[in-house]
Amino acid sequence: MYRAVSNEVQAQPQAQAQPKFKVLKALGRGSYGTVYKVQRLADGQAYAMKETDIGKMSHQERSDAALAV
């Protein structure tokens, strides 16, 4: 079983951020992005993380997606 997490886990600049998750594999792809199986480095727990391409979304869809996190 996987837990959903936001892809905002690394909101800091990439050069300074410590990775919190390790991508294990891609689980699926859709019209707006990709879902990955990831492992939290702190405890090894498995999660599903969705990476979304917001450039393909309308303003309303971006607003709705932000509320779903």
Q: Are 35 and 48 in contact (CB under 8 A)?
A: yes
Note the maximum CA span of the chain: 37
50 is in an annotated binding site: yes
Long-range pairs for 35-41: beta carbons < 8 A, 24 or more residues apart: 37/2, 38/5
State the binding site. 50
State the binding site for ATP. 50
